[in-house]
Amino acid sequence: MAGAAVSPSLLVYGGGWLGRAVGLEAVRRGGRAVLTSRDADRRAALAAEGLAAIDPNDAPALADAVAGASAILVCAPPVADGCPGLKALSPALAATDVWPDWIGYVSSTAVYGDRAGGWAFEDSELNAASLEGARRVRAERDWLDAGQGMGLTVQLFRLPALYGPGRSPLDRLRDGTARIVRKPGQVFNRVHVDDVVSGLFASMARPRPGAAYILCDDEPAPADVVMEGAARRLGLPTPPEIDLDDPSVSDAMRRFYLDSKRLSNARAKAELGWRPKYPTWRDGLEAMLGG
């Protein structure tokens, strides 16, 4: 695995699903990880797994974590007034005498907007079609500006839909919540959470200030094709079809269907030596089934 020697002292701002996975990998590599969460129960759950957890509103604890971090990863999504991670971390970064070697900001491929099935690369025009995407564009710009202003090594990671154990079409099929929405011509990539983690550690081993990377699989595919394939693999009936404007479709899912694009991961492969362990959705789902 690229970057396998990296054993960072890692601070993760945003101890959710991805943040937890990255923190556990840091510990597995012989490093340490501090994760933030405003939820006391969440902090207790993280601590039970050997991950230090702090409240991001605890300024002294956050300052100590920044001072002791060789790497900082920001997973928290942006809000109306920008990236909460940048707002919280900037005072501590400005006050410390020892800056981290690497800062990663987790963004979204929503920054590209709709490509009508065409390809998007890191240098493609940013044309967000949603409020979430527009906020990501702003957060990326703010982090890059902060990196230049303070001499920090900031990298951006643009991710499509994440999946993995507990969060996949397999889980929705098993619990009966799966639905199929057909949108002719709609196509997109996905990425397994383990492949995101390996890509982030590959970047820590080869930091490049100001770089942006798309971490995704190698095979863009329509959502209905993936869901039908997962159902066949489980031997379950194809889930019911619904229209995109059905009241049961969440706002998040509607935003998901706004964009149709194919994503290239060529830069991450060339510059980071990264390769997805699960290059197609079939590989990822098969691994979760123990195949």
Q: What is the pLDDT of residues 193-226, one digit of tens each?
A: 999 999 999 999 999 999 999 999 999 999 999 9
**What pLDDT was estimated at residue 98?**
77
Q: How confident is the model at residue 161 (pLDDT cuts 50, 70, 90)?
A: very high
pLDDT per position as a tens digit, 39-88:
999 999 999 999 999 999 999 999 999 999 999 999 999 999 999 999 99
Q: What SS3 class is residue 79?
A: strand
- Amino acid 30 reads G
Closest by CA position to 158, among listed 207, 220, 84, 211: 211
Mean pLDDT of 103-116: 96
Instruction: Note the Cα 71 to chain centre separation in Å.
Output: 16
**What pLDDT was estimated at residue 291?**
61
Question: Please, what is the end-to-end C-alpha distance for the chain in angstroms?
Answer: 21
Residues 35/38/41/47 CA torsion (nearest 10 deg): 20
Closest by CA position to 197, among listed 112, 270, 89, 104: 104
Q: What SS3 class is residue 258?
A: coil
Mean pLDDT of 259-265: 96
Structural domain boundaries of the chain? 9-164+188-221+261-281
Give dist(CA 156, CA 39) in Å, integer. Answer: 26
**What pLDDT was estimated at residue 256?**
77
Handedness of CA 49, 29, 77, 160 (dihedral sign): negative
**What pLDDT was estimated at residue 1?**
37
**Cβ atoms of 195 and 278 closer than 8 Å:** yes
pLDDT over 60 at 3, yes or no: no
Give dist(CA 201, CA 133) in Å, integer. Answer: 25
Beta carbons within 10 angstroms of residue 94's beta carbon: 12
Handedness of CA 18, 24, 27, 28 (dihedral sign): negative
**What pLDDT was estimated at residue 248?**
78
The CATH code that applies to domain 9-164+188-221+261-281 is 3.40.50.720
Lowest mean pLDDT, pick from 66-75, 245-254, 261-270: 245-254
Average pLDDT, the chain: 94
pTM to 2 decimals? 0.95
Nearest-10 crossing angle of helices 223-234, 281-288? 30
**What pLDDT was estimated at residue 141?**
98
**What pLDDT was estimated at residue 4?**
43
Residue the block writes with tokens 């564009």:
137
**Cβ atoms of 41 and 110 closer than 8 Å:** no
**Residue 164: Cβ-neighbour burial (10 angstroms; 0-12, 13-18, 19+):** buried
Q: How confident is the model at residue 2 (pLDDT cuts 50, 70, 90)?
A: very low
Give dist(CA 168, CA 288) in Å, integer. Answer: 9
**Cβ atoms of 124 and 112 closer than 8 Å:** yes
Mean pLDDT of 123-146: 96
Give dist(CA 36, CA 235) in Å, integer. Answer: 40
**What pLDDT was estimated at residue 233?**
96
**Cβ atoms of 224 and 181 closer than 8 Å:** yes
Locate all alpha helices (DSSP H) within the chain, ordered by sequence: 17-28, 40-48, 59-67, 84-95, 131-150, 169-175, 193-205, 223-234, 251-256, 266-272, 281-288
pLDDT > 70: percent of the chain: 98
